[in-house]
Amino acid sequence: MEVIILPTSKEIGALAADSIEALVRNKPNAVIGLATGSSPLPIYDELARRHDEGLSFEGVSGFALDEYVGLPVGHYESYREVIRREFTNRVDVTAENVHGPDGASDDIAGACLAYEAAIVAAGGIDLQILGVGTNGHIGFNEPGSSLASRTRIKTLAEQTRQDNARFFDNIDQVPHHVVTQGLGTIMDARHVVLVAFGAGKAEAVRDFVEGPVTASCPASVLQFHPRATIIIDEAAASKLAGADTYRHAFNNKPHWQGV
């Protein structure tokens, strides 16, 4: 796990975008795992800017991390729509290459299996973008999720519904159920880039970076990932005992190493 602490969300977005740009230039049909929430927005803004300057995503495929169950197809806050709005409509990704778990299916279990198969058929996820919930969730894998879980239905923690109520008119509109890539699915990605901002994430960041690997803090499974890059601001890093060590390591990396 590499922890990188940077001053601003713009710099964090740019560093994550550097990884994605390098991947796409090297592998034009790369498969990118797409996250929602506010954390990835600086990455999407930067990628859209680079697209305006000529970076093409034409051959890229995208797989969303998660989706609400029960929102009508096309609902403004469905994650499929959020990803379209915030990223894929701003670049030249082919619409058919953008996938998301189907939270509106009559057969949720079958749709989850099909989603896993679609990721495999695309060649697996090369780079998974992640945020983290205040309770340490990634995707919608709430505390208690199996560290080996695959795409499936989950019930949201009340904390998560409260955190996400800001996107809806009121908390009653926030669905109770979601479908999410599992922790095992996320762990299969070849590179994971997690971004987090603000003091509200400081405890979750401390727990998953420096605490024990435990289903009680789902993001802690990333300690077992061979290539997990955690890019955070000073506020999100404020409870890390090893912050100085992480800064020292980043500032003294061999120039050829990249993230």
Alpha-carbon distance 215 to 230, whole Å?
Answer: 19
Tokens 């060590």 label which residue? 245
Q: Which is nearer to ligand GLP, 25 or 176 (CB)?
A: 176
If one asks whether residue 65 binds ligand GLP (CB under 6 A), the answer comes out as yes
**Which residue in 136, 99, 132 sits closest to 116, CA to CA?**
99
Binding mask of the shown chain, residues 184 to 213, with x at each position contacting ligand GLP by CB under 6 A: ------------------------------
Q: Which residue in 132, 202, 205, 222 binds ligand GLP (CB under 6 A)?
A: 132
Helices (H), 53-91: 79-86
Three-state SS at 232: strand
If one asks whether residue 220 binds ligand GLP (CB under 6 A), the answer comes out as no
Give the count of residues interacting with ligand GLP (CB under 6 A).
14
Site for ligand GLP in 161-180 (CB under 6 A): 164
Alpha-carbon distance 128 to 202, whole Å?
Answer: 21
Q: Are strands 66-68 and 177-180 parallel, antiparallel or unpaired?
A: antiparallel
Find the helix packing angle between 9-26 and 41-52, rounded to 10°: 60
Options 3-11, 32-40, 206-214, 231-239: segment touching ligand GLP (CB under 6 A): 32-40
Amino acid present at 194: L
Three-state SS at 91: coil
Q: Which residue in 66, 67, 86, 102 binds ligand GLP (CB under 6 A)?
A: 66
Q: Which is nearer to ligand GLP, 61 or 136 (CB)?
A: 136
Q: Could you tell me if 4 and 246 are in contact, meaning their C-beta atoms sit under 8 angstroms apart?
A: yes
Options 4-12, 113-121, 126-134, 228-236: segment touching ligand GLP (CB under 6 A): 126-134
Q: Which is nearer to ligand GLP, 36 or 88 (CB)?
A: 36
Options 2-10, 29-37, 97-105, 206-214: segment touching ligand GLP (CB under 6 A): 29-37
Site for ligand GLP in 134-163 (CB under 6 A): 139-140, 160
If one asks whether residue 39 binds ligand GLP (CB under 6 A), the answer comes out as yes
Q: Which is nearer to ligand GLP, 43 or 248 (CB)?
A: 43
Alpha-carbon distance 59 to 56, whole Å?
Answer: 8
Torsion of CA 141, 143, 147, 152, to 10 degrees: -30
Q: Could you tell me if 101 and 115 are in contact, meaning their C-beta atoms sit under 8 angstroms apart?
A: yes
If one asks whether residue 133 binds ligand GLP (CB under 6 A), the answer comes out as yes
* Residues making contact with ligand GLP (CB under 6 A): 35-39, 65-66, 131-133, 139-140, 160, 164
